[in-house]
Structure 1
Amino acid sequence: MGSYCSIQFDELEVCISKSVVPDIFCAIFQEADRLVRRSRDEDDEDPDVVYEATRDVVLARLDLLGCTNTVVKERLAAWLEAERATWEGYVANDREWALETAQALRELTPEEWYVRAPEVLATRYEREEPVDVIDRHMRDHNDSWLWFDGYGSLVGLRALLDACHDVKVVTLDITALIGGGWLDKDEKVCETRREADVLEPRPLAPTVVLGEGSSDIRVLQRSLAVLFPERQDYFSFFNHAELSVDGGTTYLVKFLKAFAAARAPFRMVAVFDNDTTGLQAYRQVSTLRLPDNIIVVRLPDTELAKAYPTVGPQGRHVVDVNGQAAGIELYLGRAALTADGELRPVRWTGYNQAARAYQGEVEAKTEVESTFLDALATFSNPADARAAFPELVSVWEAIFRAVERSAESAERKLHGRVRAEA
């Protein structure tokens, strides 16, 4: 006999795995989700050990893995089309035993699958007699239409979670594996698997974030942990300081070319500043034929930067500095940018001949960052932190969207290769 771990929607067991925790189960959790709590079995003195996250958090993580609602619907429609073709082929060859299933597939639609899935999932071990042919196939233990993408797959889990609107939390229960001796009670399952799989784009390797310099990386890394802690294990950060790696737009462009030439297998996202130099480099890189796993974004335009005080040879003016002087410091909140009751101005530093535009940066950049990091450390509630730093939230939302698009494309291509090889 073996022991099992399970994925649960609230108290409902969705799928199981014998003796091991599959990577696809670990992929939707991070180590901070681990809980050790009193056993639900009153006769059991050993605690339950689980990983648990809210439905919305798991959906956001699945998006980062490319298992978006759009991909799932495409996969379900493709599966249904293929199944219909297969069974219609049986009928065309006078296989009478196929008539009933072929007719059921004609009646089944993606929308009908989503309607039926919650009830089938909740009662699949209770009801002995199916209500119709579709119901029978969805409850089939060997080739269930409920798991159209394969038992326990991330796409299948996403489809079921999309269908089950009332689910509050998703849980990975590893209690039985610990009790059965398959896992050490203190083993950090998700952390260990993610580190071991660091060079593999799917499904556990984090996306590597690159910036123009160490200050950009420092801000992004610390802000992710506070603003979106439920996604921090899904990203790692290029460390300029560790080996004294040079920074700046020129070097960032060179790094991207080098990673592309080396065919680096992991997913990465390069974040360029929203200033003259950064925008010029972003446009340059955007013309390169980079592989799909190398993503390029720039800091987004903000309302704050649309009317920002500046200082230059022509005096003081309030202008739109998006695209000319919006470095990472302009995304650290009004409080950090304010000194003596006024916003610290952007100072124009020179003219970029190639871009035909002036370049600028906010005064006292180091003080702005230091004030921001001190303020960031005071927040314990992510919602409060997001309300305090809306510009930085827009940065992370832009990164999330870019990674989701890349992962979604990779998921489609991977599925296409698998189907072609099959």
Structure 2
Amino acid sequence: MLGEYVHHIDFEENSDFVIIYGPNGVGKTKFLEIIHALSRVNAATLSLLPFGTATLSFSDGHSITAITDTHDEEGDSEFDAFVENGQKRKIRFELHFEDSEKDSWLYSGDNFEAQLIENTTYRPLSSSPEIWEDRVDQELVSLTELERRFPDFRDREDVPEWIERFRENSFSYLIETQRLRIEQYIGASRRVAANIRPGVRRKQHDTKISEHSSTMKALVNRAQTEHSRITQQLDRTFPNKVLAAPTSETVHADDIRIRFDEQNGFRSRLGRVASVALEDELSLPTRDLDEWELRLLSLYLDDADKKLAPFVKLLRKIELLEDIVNSRLLNKRLQVTAGEGLTVRHETTGRAIDLNSLSSGEQHEIILIFDLLFNVPEGALVLIDEPEISLHVVWQLAFIPDVQRVAELAGFRFIVATHSPQIINDAWSHAVRLGPEKASFA
């Protein structure tokens, strides 16, 4: 990093997270950005980051390495000439396999910003080049968002097939320190622009937290649609399954009663979230059930499990989102419903509170936990930079345990970069120090 440091971290066996810490200037943020860009083979971004060689090694024995044109085979670096005046460097990528096979690709640069200017109506703001404005409708978006919208403008050179395969099977998700600040900056810029351009009709753009509320509604509605499709299919075939069921199969009454209790409990929890036509809870008689009744009920329960399957993991994620966020909010409660998505109400009066009127810390928490639960693909590596921003000390102490709960349910590993001893708390066995040992990091 910057010609001064060599950083190295490992995930211990059966460990789902690593914390990196150290004094300012050792490159914690850049380290995360390099990991993220290399895992996605984002050559254009890597060409602007301060490193000589970066390698990601995987448990199946393969690894991918990026080598800049300021770093030769012997390891000498010339960082004094690093990216002057926005000049990008060449990057050589090498994919190594356990049997010593190697694929390589040399990236010689692209012109993403020039492609945007040539092919779209977006232009950078002079006051903040990271923010771009659509000259037609005055939409303001970050450059990162434009990279998501126009991926074809990156890496215009011929990309080898092995790079595409690697990208398809490698997932990382970077949560940057400045994400919420950029959203707030964009919101403020929109208000200013609206005041100084009274004659311009502006397109309305949701804030990030409003977008997440809309996404939540879409997720619940999608599960409802799938539930309806499965229900129609199973109801048509149920009579045939009853007639074809083997009469010699043994079904235990205790198992049936346990399954009924579990299903009824799930229906009660789901009914608060999803507006689906769920069957009324069935109360089983206290008498002994005949064998034919047990077999029929077993078939019914099997079908009911399949009908409810689209909601199972979704409901667990919704309940975890509510649990974590509501442990943070003071005199307010977050609730998810199919009709409104995310809603926040005052605990005493029940009055609805506009999501955009929540404090920056409250919005940050909802956005962060929502992203981790619903936007991170299973198996991904999540990179979280300085989560202590906008968090008071109590929230910082709970941060790692809460993200662990999310990671276990959503199925990802994570790396956290922090300045805060409260974030690390009692997880020092997972912490890796970067930079000089004697320098203070807090």
TM-score w.r.t. length of structure 2: 0.26
TM-score w.r.t. length of structure 1: 0.27
Using CA pairs under 8 Å that are at least 6 residues apart, name the structure with larger relative contact order, 1 or 2.
2
